[in-house]
Amino acid sequence: MTTIQFRYSILLACILCCSSCKKFLAIPPPETQLESLTLFSNSSAAVSAAMGLYSQMMQSSLSVSNGAATLYPALSADELYNTAANADYDAFRSNNIQFASSTGLTRLWTFSYRNIYHANAVMEGLNASASIPDSLKKQLRGEMLVVRGFHYLCLLRLFGDVPLITSTSYSINQSMPRTATTEVYNQVETDLKEAYNLLGFAYTAGARTRPDHFTAAALLARLCIYRQNWPLAAQYASEVISSNRYALNPVLNNVFLSASNETIWQLSPVSTTVNTAEGNLFIPSSATTRPVMALTSWLLDAFEPGDQRKTSWLKTNTVGGQPYAYPYKYKVRTGAPPYSEMYVVIRLAELYLIRAEANLQLNNLTAAAADINAIRNRAGLPNTAYTTQPALLTALMQERRIELMFEWGHRWSDLKRTGTADAVLQTIKAPGWQPADTLYPIQQYELDTNPFLIQNPGY
Amino acid sequence: MKQLILCLALLYPILTSCQPITIKGSVINEEGTPLAGATISIKQSGKSTLADSKGNFTITNTRLNDTLIVTAIGYQTATVPNNERGLISITLRRKITQLDETIIIAYGTTTKRFNTGSITKITTAEISNQPVSNPLATLHGRVPGLLVTQSSGVTGSAVSIQLRGQSSLDPLLSRNDPLFIIDGVPFESGNIPSNQLSSAAVNPYQVAGTSPGGLSPLSSINPADIESIEVLKDADATAIYGSRGANGVILITTRKGKAGKAKLTLNISNGFSRPSSSMPMLNTAQYLLMRREAFANDGLLPNTSNAPDLLLWDTSRYTNLQKLLTGNTARTTNWQASLSAGSPGTQFLLGMAYFNQTNVFPGSQPYQRYSSHINLRHKPASARWDLQFSAIFSADDNKLLRTDLSKYFGLPPNIKLTGPGGELVWQEAGISYSSLGFFNPLAELLQPYEARNNNLSASLVLGIRISKNWNLRVSTGYNNLTTNEKSTQPKASLAPENTTLASSQLATALRSNWMAEPQLEYNGAFAKGKLQMLLGAAFQQRQEQLTSIQATGYSNDLLLNALSAAAAVTASNNSEQYNYQAVFARLNYNFGSKYILNLSGRRDGSSRFGPARRFANFAAAGAAWILSEETFFKNSLPFISFAKLRASYGVTGNDQLGNYRYLDLWLSTTNPYTAVPGLRPSSLFNPYLEWEKNNKFETALELSFCGNRIMFSPAFYIHRSSNQLISYRLPNQTGFASVTKNLPALVQNKGWEFQLTATALETKNWSWKLSANATLPSNKLLSFPGLETSSYNAIYTIGQSLSVIRKMKYTGIDPATGLYTYEDYNKDGSISTPGDLQVLGNLDPVCYGGISSGLQYSGWSVDIFFDYNIQKGTNYLAYQYLNPAGFMYNQPLLVMNRWQQPGKQSAVQRFGATAASPVFTASSRLLASDAIYSDASFIRFKNLALGYDLPASVLAKGKISSCRFYIQAQNIYTFTRYKGTDPETKSFYQLPTLRTVLAGIQLTF
């Protein structure tokens, strides 16, 4: 090889090296993840995207959809108290929430919006997809609308006006101010009504672990009593009750079993060791251990004599001579799959109480009394003795208080929506109680990162 | 005839030596530059003259046998015999001073004299004097502009490195790490913690201003294998690394073999370590006093629910948790062997080492590292090519606990930890520790964590000489870091009431990286100057595969290491790829050894950006003027032996964001839902990501006095980073807490750096060298469009530093109520944020650096080193925001200076017992106030190295060519007024840096 050839061959090698730059940089997407466009061109992947939301809802113990929406309002109201000092629980129990940083607020707020984003992302993916069959699109969209609506119902009841997020665009969402409660309710109503029309009448996966048409109807009924739309509340509740798909479980101990026919929608646990986060938190490890949460004397005193719910849904441990009654609706503390208990989101008993309340407000007293009695009789109590509208209303709220105790914060919401929170809590929760405590504060981080968010009054 | 000529030749000098002759000549240096002002004298007659501006001189009346002595400042004296032709050219060689030592730069070498960029070199001597296992830890205080912070005293823990200030807005979300290059190959793991699982190296409580911790990937490199570390700072030095030079470049060069007789070096040392500082805590008597006073203050009676520690527990028990949990002495063993040999054509070096260091936690958790190193150079005598190969391989095994036990210093000192038989205790008097949020720290000893790293880094450089001026060089390299982690939690280590079953976690990370860089080099003359050109291309691919496995429900603690014995196993994995491509060029022109111009540019492409925004251009210019080569300078300032003025300006970039951030990706959920696999959005995505650009300007003066005995260099720099790539904080209502995006904010880092080295004494037996450096940084947010409506509105203020303290002003303790008070800044009658936030200074270091002294007397040497940092830092009050003094947690002894009765002045508010107490509200505001910051300045006696070399006369009889005994100590004493444990880690519940003393012997055969 002459020197000239040698030099040219080197130059050629250099040129070859420098070509095809763009190709070298075009790398495939990561093997273990799916690009949105690819995902929503495949039906089973799209189903997985929706299933992922349920899995996420049950992934973190005591996130909003897995215990927090029960626990914190129960502490803030008059249902439960924590038996040992705990800064997070103490703050909610004493209605003195430090919004600078609060585990409870993170569990309620952050996880709600994480799930809402997920639902929005699935819906946007479905909208953009050309290859997923319409029937599946409708089904999944309906389910996502139910989940989104459900989360907004939780948020509204805890925080008042909240930002209404209906897309995945962070550039829009990051500066979204609070939306008026009415407007959020309107959105929830629209969502649930759409889902009501989109969703089929059969459970997609046997165990009622995904919402269907009647789930939408049941949540619409719940929404309607919050909006005091009594006729519609009665209508939706009736539809569910008279569908004959569900029945009040005659055995109180079986109401929360995963096979219970009373359940309208339940979330399947995903943990390999725990069924429900509530069962795991509330039930102490042994008969001699002090439970973490115990019933307040106010709730214990509210039971009528002979109420079987006091024996079926409560249990007592005596530690150091002091009895501690603890929630025992869920009876499984630990357990591997198959799960004997799942996390019930909405069940038929609530629908009876909703219809009763609607009928009372509409002055259909007999029908209302019948529904109240259905619940009372199941609990081993006689028919209600009251006949007048105000008396029956009081009886109804009492029934809600016991039947739905430490379940999704119903007591806390009922006190607020009936305007009785102040009257009830002022005396028993003194001196910490202030009227403004009915709404939880927004965490400092959220206020800092979104200057358009305004703190709730009183914080 | 031949004889006659020989005769004449012999006679000729005798004949001519008597005749006076005139010598004409010139004096030049090695680059051919005339040396004006050089002195030429005749040894015999003492006659002398000076060279003129062109280096020419004439001396008359000399004799043939005379000897010329030529001297010039900064050059070696030349002795030249007279030449009969009377016209001679004399080349003077530079004195080999610090100025002419080789400095490694990007794709080449230079000297301090001709360097146009800002580079600090750390030599092997400075590295080997320090008994540390992580090479980054050797840089503490030694490089102006480089702030090195140890995250914890746990072996193998991360060391954070920040060059010339924070440029990124959110240091917790975005990384600001320099690029690390080992023998030309990017060390892609960089300084990002290598662990996936949590361990004792992770900071248990992260409060603003403390490091998150983790395991450092660089600790797998044996510092003894390092020849030098060069820190490249300005645009001129780093722009050729284009995209990745924005935060500086750290070049690590490994040791090389030398030609000559085979040399075997053995180095053995042993030592021990203890925590360098501690914070006295309350003993039981003081603790009980605090608790009872708290209840009295709140007007509450202690009951079994709120005060089991007072009523149900043994109040005469006392455990000094600090002593129990971190009181062990850690042991260090270090064995090194290396063999170096070679001929002029081939040289090699082989090294092997073993390092073992235990922890200060109870029990033995050794960190062990086996490392080997090979370096080979081959250049056949008459061939056009040469080859250089180097590889380091290390296997380390870091056995730790899962949690830093310092986390538990806050447990009540009368807590019962063990029963009469030494068994773990989980409750006392029916009150389980878990119901109080406590955990028995001794159970942590049963939860081991282990990280094993295998690190291979190899490079091969093939050089081909194409012609006299042109060279081709092809560098190829590969590195691979494999991390295997294992963490187990046996049932015996868990509270009996805990539902969690015995579990284990396994994690594997495979990170590999290959690169190839063909380069074409030209070296030649151009218009009376020296021209160097470099053209090159770079290809690089990085792959990362992460797997993690969680297994729970082991029925038997003995089977914890067998996955098949677990009731449930969940696994996740992730795989990422990063491709990178560049072309680059550099042009260096040196005119007359006085004026040097250096231009560099690079076009980069990175797969981390979307297809439309992958490429970007970066360039820099540097120039230097060696003033001391100018005649006017030599005449007017003869005491300055060297002076150089240099300046550089350029643009560098940053692509340190995660991979695939421009794609909308979904990943698998941890668990399926009703047996159907689930998917979830992995993060917010941004298809519009583009390169971050950093503009850097620097100017510096380099001066040497008294024949280079004193060297002083002030430097001034301004770095401005714009279009920042950051993890932008978002309110959670967006679904996530951050998104990666470009932010048009402009951040400026400006500062002065000073470096002084002096040879105080230099005689046959004595040598004393001193050096000091100082950095005075300043950081400012110049602009941030839309700050007021952005998620950073409550954190940053335009015109202030990024570490601005925007908090409520702490106004001391109200003498009447005994509570912490804060200024009502907006005078609205209530203390609230953000209305009461105000700018109260910043957390940037005011000044930092180091001071060193090296004294040698015949075989003895004493090296000492101090580092210092004038700064503010997070103090112990930061940990009181949730557990105020008086609650069921132990506190530092400092809290005894609390408010007791109206009118009392104190540093800590009155004790309070429960969350209903006003004490709780007052202290929950601490974190939002400036009370948690106080002076954290320190001067640390960082390093002491004593050595003694046996004199050659003693060794002469044996085969040993040198024998050295040494003692080294690290973190010896810290002078500080800091209210906390360690002003460096600034974390109260984290193991402080360790004080280490080590003794050893080094033998060379």
Q: How many CA atoms lie within 13 A of B800 on its CB side?
A: 18
Read off the amino acid at residue A105: L
B573–A32: do the CB atoms touch at under 8 Å? Answer: yes
Give the distance from residue A409's alpha carbon to the nearest chain B alpha carbon, in angstroms.
22
CB contact under 8 A, A446 and B733: yes
Q: Does residue A101 belong to any structural domain of this protein?
A: yes
In a mutagenesis test of the A interface, which of B311, B494, B670, B673 is the best target, namely the one with the most A β-carbons within 10 Å? Answer: B673
- B175 φ/ψ angles, rounded to the nearest 5 degrees: -100, 150
Write out chain A residues lying below 8 Å of B660, CB-based: 29-30, 33
> How big is the A-B interface in CB pairs under 8 Å?
290
> What residue of A is the nearest CA neighbor of B581?
A21
B659, B735, B915: residue with CB nearest A113:
B735
Beta pairing partners, A162: A179
Which of A343-347, A427-431, B86-90 has the highest average model confidence (pLDDT)?
A343-347
B306 min Cα distance to partner chain A (Å): 6
Residue B858 lies in a domain: no
pLDDT score for A98 = 82
The residue in chain A having the minimum alpha-carbon distance to the alpha carbon of residue B615 is: A22
Count of domains observed in chain B: 2
Instruction: Report CB contact under 8 Å: B924, A100.
Output: yes
Of A27, A35, A449, the CB nearest to B729: A449
Q: Is B852 a domain residue?
A: no
B750 in a structural domain: no
The answer to whether residues B76 and B131 belong to one domain is no
Contact B499 A52 (CB under 8 A): no
**DSSP state, B919?**
H
Same domain, residue pair B135 and B88: no
SS (H, E, C) B634-677: HHHCCCEEEEEEEEEEEEEEECCCCCCCCCCEEEECCCCECCEC
Whether residue B81 sits in one domain with residue B121 = no
Instruction: Show which of residues 88-127 on chain B sit within 8 Å of chain A, judged by CB atoms.
Output: none
Separation in Å, CA of A257 to nearest CA in chain B:
16
Q: Is residue B31 part of a domain?
A: yes
Instruction: Give me B887's structure tokens.
Output: 């609650």
A328 is a domain residue: no
Give me the interface pTM, i.e. the ipTM: 0.91
- Chain A residues with CB under 8 Å of B205 CB are none
> Three-class SS of residue B564?
helix
Shared domain for B148 and B75, answered yes or no, is no
Residue B928 touches partner A, C-beta closer than 8 Å: yes
> Among residues B239, B254, B269, which one ends one of the domains?
B254
The residue out of B39, B60, B92 marking a domain boundary is: B92
Report the gap between the CA of B862 and the closest CA in chain A (Å).
52
Over 90: is that where the pLDDT of A312 sits?
A: yes
Let me know the angle formed at the C-alpha of A214 by A212 and A219, rounded to the nearest 5 degrees.
Answer: 100
Same domain assignment for residues B240 and B128: yes
Q: Does the residue B23 lie in any domain? A: yes
Which positions in chain B touch A15 (Cβ < 8 Å)? none
Q: Is B121 among the domain residues? A: yes
Nearest-CA residue of chain A relative to B583? A18
What is the mean pLDDT for each group of 10 consecutive residues in chain B (1005 residues)? 51 53 80 78 82 83 80 77 71 73 81 86 88 89 90 86 83 75 83 85 69 82 91 86 82 88 92 90 94 91 86 91 91 93 90 93 90 93 89 93 90 92 87 86 92 93 90 92 93 80 91 92 87 92 91 87 87 88 91 90 88 86 90 85 92 80 87 91 85 88 86 94 84 90 89 92 87 94 88 87 90 89 88 84 92 91 94 85 84 90 86 84 85 92 92 77 92 90 82 92 91
Measured between CA atoms, the residue of chain A closest to residue B674 is A268
Closest to B574 (Cβ–Cβ): which among A32, A165, A205?
A32
Q: Which residues 628-687 on chain B approach chain A with CB closer than 8 angstroms?
A: 659-660, 663-674, 676-682, 684
Closest CA to B744 of B726, B727, B722, B720: B722
Query: Position of tokens 């012609």?
Result: B467
Query: Would you say residue A337 lies in a domain?
Result: no
Residues B87 and B114 in one domain: no
Dihedral in degrees, nearest 10, Cα atoms A281, A282, A287, A289 = 60
Residues in chain A closer than 8 A to B833 (CB atoms): 100, 444, 447
Locate B196 and state its tokens: 């996936």
Chain A residue closest to B611 (CA)?
A: A26
Same domain, B67 and B123: no
> In this complex, is the C-beta atom of B918 within 8 Å of any C-beta atom belonging to chain A?
no
| Structural domain of B223 | 98-254
Kindly state the tokens that stand for B279: 């914070």
Closest residue to A94, CB basis, from B574, B671, B915: B915
Cα dihedral sign, A35-A38-A40-A44: negative
In chain B, whose CA is at the least distance from the CA of A32? B574
**Rounded distance, CA B242 to CA B1000, Å?**
43
Instruction: Kindly state whether B501 is in contact with chain A, defined as any CB-CB distance less than 8 angstroms.
Output: yes
For helices A348-361 and A365-378, the axis angle rounded to 10 degrees is 150
The CATH number given to whatever domain includes residue B60 is: 2.60.40.10
- B68 with B102, same domain? no
Residue from A361, A417, A372 nearest A399 by CA = A372
Q: With beta carbons under 8 A apart, name residues in chain B contacting A53.
A: 678, 680
| Number of C-beta neighbours around residue B501 at 10 A | 20
CB-closest option in A21, A51, A292 to B605: A21
Give the domain range for residue A372: 41-82+91-282+348-428+436-449
**Does any domain span residue A1?**
no
Closest CA to A184 of A141, A142, A219, A154: A154
Query: How close, in Å, is residue A387 to chain B by CA atoms?
Result: 44
Higher pLDDT pick, B24 / A385 = A385
* Ordered alpha helix ranges (H), B485-531: none
CB-nearest partner of B669 from A37, A59, A90:
A59
Whole-angstrom distance, CA of residue A278 vs CA of residue A410: 15
Asked if residue A458 is part of any domain, the answer here is: no
Q: Is residue B161 part of a domain?
A: yes
Amino acid at B4: L
| B278 touches B981 (CB < 8 A) | yes
Q: Where are the alpha helices (DSSP H) in A255-364?
A: 277-282, 297-301, 309-312, 348-361
Q: Are residues B165 and B208 in the same domain?
A: yes
Whole-number Å distance between alpha carbons of B634 and B84: 32
> Does residue B214 sit within a domain?
yes
Can you give the CATH number for the domain in which B119 is found? 2.170.130.10
The verdict on B523 touching A (C-beta cutoff 8 Å) is no
Cα A100 to chain centroid distance, Å, stands at 24
Domain boundary (B222, B254, B286) is at B254
CA of B553: which chain A residue's CA is closest? A273
Query: Residue A294 domain-assigned?
Result: no
| Bridge-based pairing state of the strands B249-254 and B179-182 | parallel
* Best CA proximity match to A224, nearest among A196, A244, A249: A196
Rounded CA separation B807/B794 (Å)? 9
Is there a single domain that holds both residue B73 and residue B106? no
- Cβ atoms of B696 and B234 closer than 8 Å: yes
Q: What single letter denotes the amino acid at residue A9?
A: S
Q: Which amino acid is at B668?
A: S
What is the per-residue pLDDT across B398-437, written as a single tens digit (0 to 9) for each? 999 988 998 899 899 999 999 998 899 998 887 888 888 8
Domain count, chain A: 1
Find out whether the peptide bond into A284 is cis, omega within 30 degrees of 0. Answer: no
Helix, strand and coil in chain B, % to nearest 5: 15, 50, 40
Contacts B727 to A, Cβ<8 Å: none
Which residues in chain B touch residue A90, judged by CB atoms under 8 angstroms apart? 914-916
Q: Which CATH number covers residue A159?
A: 1.25.40.390
pLDDT band at A2 (very low <50, low <70, confident <90, very high): low
CA–CA min distance B403, chain A (Å): 22
Which of A96, A273, A450 minimises the CB distance to B499? A273
The amino acid at B488: T
Q: Let me know whether B103 and B247 are in one domain.
A: yes
How far does the CA of residue A434 sit from the closest CA of chain B (Å)? Answer: 14
Give the residue among A355, A344, A150 at the shortest CA–CA distance from A242.
A355
- Kindly provide the b/e burial profile for residues B338-347, where b requires at least 16 CB atoms within 10 angstroms of the residue's own CB: bebbbeeeeb
How is residue B405 written in tokens? Answer: 């036990």
Decide which of B58 and A128 is more confident.
Answer: A128
Identify which of A173, A207, A444 has the shortest CB distance to residue B733. Answer: A173
Token output for A277: 């986060």
Of residues B432, B567, B733, nearest to A336 (C-beta): B567
Q: What are phi and psi of A191, to 5 degrees?
A: -60, -50
Do residue B146 and residue B123 come from a single domain? yes
Cβ–Cβ below 8 Å for B305 and A84: yes
pLDDT at A231: 96
Inter-residue contact B916 to B922 (CB < 8 Å): no
Closest CA in chain A for residue B661: A29
In this complex, the residue of B665, B731, B887 whose CB is nearest that of residue A449 is: B731
